[in-house]
Amino acid sequence: MSETTLAPVATWLAEPMEEKVAAAIERLRRTADVRRVAVMPDVHLATDVCVGTVVTTRRLLFPGAVGGDIGCGMLALAFDAQASTLDARPAVIGRLLAVMNSAVPITRRHRRRVVPYPDELRGAELSHGALEAVKRDAAALQLGTLGGGNHFVELQADAASDQLWLMVHSGSRAIGQAVRGHHLAHAQRVDGGMLALDAETAAGQAYVHDVAWARAYADANRRAIADAVIDLLREHFHVRPVEHSLISCDHNHVAREAHGDGSDHGGERDELLWVHRKGAMPASAGVAGVLPGSMGTMSFHVEGRGCAAALRSSAHGAGRAMSRNVARRTVTARDVTRQMAGVWFDPRLTDALREESPRAYKDIRALLRAQHDLVRVTRTLRPVMVYKGAG
């Protein structure tokens, strides 16, 4: 396809858009087959397409508008205990942090500790032998691992009831990157400069198939991490998860959905479009989601309002206010310690965690105000203990 259109852009901004971000959005709206663009308040610069962007197309698939961490998302789970149970036993929290890396490694190096694939992953083949090799090797080794960067495990307190909650942020690890890289190598450059696959060809369908597998892997990864934390909490604090409390969502994917022109009209004008979300969470009416703040700040459980203009989407978290390089230059270890007051974390990682300091992220409350018509808050949570991989 070579048709180039000037797609409409809808924005929900907590602050003025940076010049480079605005330029990236302008390039995107001029790209072939792009029908609509929605920009979330946590938008920030990234390779190809900004994080915090939703893009619809009729036929073309843009791996760059999904990114490499396909299926990256959130899991939340309640426990039958008060968070004060943990705060009252600091020595036990210390032991919990000490063993967390063994139970939920940043990466895994020993095959004897591999988490078995669930049936739904084991029974489906990826589209190419090279991807199957990653599935057998790196992906099998990494299932149940956290990864670095902004991925984390956090124990939280419901601000209203003090109920203990778990929050997990992780994704598809090596397999997501492999899927993106493999299919970009087979993509064609279209008007606007993006690499694309035609959804109506075998190559396009292969990408859709592999994205679905990577999303399922990312979900299984978060559940495996949660299972490991459940075991630790049962052992150290004798608490158990609450049935039917699980919230699960992801924010890097492409999916076929029915959307209209962004107005609140009847369904007769809706059409099936390919919806690319990169750092944006689905927010259909009544759908539960998880909006993490930065390390050391409040997080929120939300419910979608189904806003048509936003392509039934929401921000996926606080979003970076400064790049990792800038954070490393400007945030000190003392800043991290001060900003994390009252939150348990491994002090040995203080220096390494400077780039994940709360100061490096946007204000989550300002973000919520900017997108008040996209979601409503159902629960506010404060951090009690944070385990995060540095680097």
pLDDT 10s digits, 115-125: 999 998 998 89
pLDDT at 1: 47
The CATH class for the domain spanning 9-388 reads alpha beta
Residues whose CB is less than 8 angstroms from the CB of residue 195 and which lie 6 or more positions away in sequence, other chains included? 62, 63, 64, 184, 187, 188, 189
| Beta strand 34-44 pairing with 9-11 | parallel
Give the mean model confidence (pLDDT) for residues 16-29.
96
Span between the terminal Cα atoms of the chain, in Å: 40
Kindly report the average pLDDT of the chain as a whole number. 93
pLDDT at 87: 84
pLDDT at 261: 78
Report the distance separating Cα 67 and Cα 49, nearest Å: 8
Give the mean model confidence (pLDDT) for residues 141-151.
93
43 Cα distance to chain centroid: 13
Query: pLDDT per residue over 159-199, tens digit each?
Result: 999 999 999 999 999 999 999 999 999 999 999 899 999 99
Q: Where do we find the tokens 């608490």? A: 239
> Is 240 within 8 Å of 226 (Cβ atoms)?
no
354-360-361 Cα angle (round to 5): 135
pLDDT at 79: 98
265 a catalytic residue: no
SS3 letters across the chain: CCCECCCCEEECCCCCCCHHHHHHHHHHHCCECEEEEEEEEEEECCCCCCEEEEEEECCEECHHHCCCCCCCEEEEEEEEEECHHHHCCHHHHHHHHHHHHHHCCCCCCCHHHCCCCCHHHHCCCCCCHHHHHHHHHHHHHHCCCCCCCCCEEEEEEECCCCEEEEEEEECCHHHHHHHHHHHHCCCEECCCCCEEEECCCHHHHHHHHHHHHHHHHHHHHHHHHHHHHHHHHHHHHCCCECCCCCEEEECEEEEEEEECCCCCCCHHHCEEEEEEEECEEECCCCCEEEECCCCCCCEEEEEECCCCCCCCEEECCCCECCCHHHHHHHCCHHHHHHHCCCCECCHHHCCHHHHHCHHHECCHHHHHHHCCCCEEEEEEEEEEEEEECCC
Sheet of 34-44: strand order equals 9-11, 34-44, 51-57, 271-278, 252-259
Measured in residues, the chain has a length of 391
Q: Which pLDDT band, with edges at 50, 70 and 90, does 263 fall under?
A: low
Residue 110 has pLDDT above 90, yes or no: no
**Structural domain boundaries in the chain:** 9-388
pLDDT at 3: 53
| Beta strand 299-304 pairing with 288-291 | antiparallel
Q: What is the pTM of this model?
A: 0.95
Token pair listed for 225: 């991490």
Query: pLDDT per residue over 50-105, tens digit each?
Result: 999 999 999 999 999 999 999 999 999 999 999 998 888 999 999 999 999 899 99
101 vs 2 pLDDT, higher one? 101
pLDDT at 4: 59
Query: pLDDT per residue over 190-225, tens digit each?
Result: 998 999 999 999 999 999 999 999 999 999 999 999
Report the distance separating Cα 135 and Cα 176, nearest Å: 10
pLDDT at 152: 95
Give the mean model confidence (pLDDT) for residues 331-355.
91
- Pick the catalytic residue from 169, 183, 253, 316: 316
